[in-house]
Amino acid sequence: MSYVLGIPRYANVAPLYHFLEEGDGIAFRYGVPTQLNQWLLEGSVDLSLVSSYFYLKNADRLRPLPDFSIADLGPVYSVNLFHRKPWEALRRLAITTESATSVELLRYLLRADGVRAELFPEQGGLELLERYDGVLLIGDRAITTYCSLLSVIPESVHQVPSELEGVRITDLSMKWFERTRLPFVFAVWTTRKNAPPPPEIVRRLRQARSLGLGNLAAVAGSEAQRLGVPERLMQHYLWNFRYHLEVPDRLGLQAFAQAVGLPYPNDYWDV
């Protein structure tokens, strides 16, 4: 029987699995983070990238690998609140149903600034701005939405616009950085506590990550094609991530646990 890996099909995950071969004891199951979170708890996947918030909330049953993350320091470019009114004036927001972490991050950032907005789960894109003050999008959808507003690809990271065609783009990871000066961890590879990860699988995951990061241009090329966005933009997007859950990332995760009032277990598989 194959060992089942839960994978969000987002461009930011591609450097981890692009060079991982299915078969030979490994099967993939794709889903959005909110689905994968449930599948892991239920047992229909064995090892999955799960939303960091979901992990923290279910830390009595889950344990992550020690050295894998989808994290970043500063802007992430794909966890965006699109809005017309200023941040302080936001009252009714549509939120993605794909993510647990980003929604809790948004809740925290609003609360920290004393902004009293109500959040409503919705599926859709910028058309929701007709009915809401803002729309939270993540992953590929946030990237393609950003690109649809962008007329020129910025030459420098300092030229990435935060407002396009009257729509403001608030990058939640950047807002987190301004507050904490720490990385933000969106997801971790996690198993159930009663089912340790086979070392051979972890070895293959590490090897795939090395190949993915070492050949980022190839990964970016195939993801750019899949999403229909410029390759140069995809490369910049991908080189921005932190995939190793290093000490600064762990400190970021600890600060996030504190921000949302959950304990930080600091307990990883020794593998």
Ligand X SMILES: C=C(O[C@@H]1C=C(C(=O)O)C=C[C@H]1O)C(=O)O
Interface with ligand X by CB under 6 A: which residues? 8, 10, 12-13, 33, 49, 51, 70, 76, 78-79, 99-102, 138-139, 142, 186-187
User: CB of 117 within 8 A of CB of 161?
Assistant: no
If the CB atoms of residues 77 and 132 are measured against ligand X, the closer one turns out to be: 77
Closest CA to 192 of 50, 72, 29: 50
* Burial of 263 (C-beta count, 10 Å sphere; 0-12/13-18/19+): exposed
Shortest spacing between CB 23 and ligand X, in angstroms: 24
If the CB atoms of residues 33 and 197 are measured against ligand X, the closer one turns out to be: 33
Shortest spacing between CB 215 and ligand X, in angstroms: 20
If the CB atoms of residues 26 and 238 are measured against ligand X, the closer one turns out to be: 238
If the CB atoms of residues 102 and 190 are measured against ligand X, the closer one turns out to be: 102
Cβ neighbors of 205 (< 8 A, separation 6 or more) are 16, 20, 65, 68, 189
If the CB atoms of residues 8 and 197 are measured against ligand X, the closer one turns out to be: 8
Shortest spacing between CB 1 and ligand X, in angstroms: 26
Shortest spacing between CB 111 and ligand X, in angstroms: 18
Closest CA to 234 of 98, 143, 105: 143
Q: Which two tokens stand for residue 218?
A: 């190839």
Shortest spacing between CB 169 and ligand X, in angstroms: 13
**Per-position DSSP letters for 189-200, written without gaps between them:** EEEETTSPPPHH
Look-up: residue for tokens 């078969």? 23
What span, in angstroms and rounded, lies between the C-alpha atoms of 94 and 80?
A: 12
If the CB atoms of residues 101 and 191 are measured against ligand X, the closer one turns out to be: 101
If the CB atoms of residues 39 and 155 are measured against ligand X, the closer one turns out to be: 39
User: CB of 63 within 8 A of CB of 195?
Assistant: no
Shortest spacing between CB 34 and ligand X, in angstroms: 7
Shortest spacing between CB 164 and ligand X, in angstroms: 18
Q: What is the 3-state secondary structure (H, E, C) of 157-191?
A: HHHCCCEECCEEEEEHHHHHHHHHCCCEEEEEEEE
* CA distances from residue 128 to 38, 92, 119 in whole angstroms, order as listed: 27, 11, 13
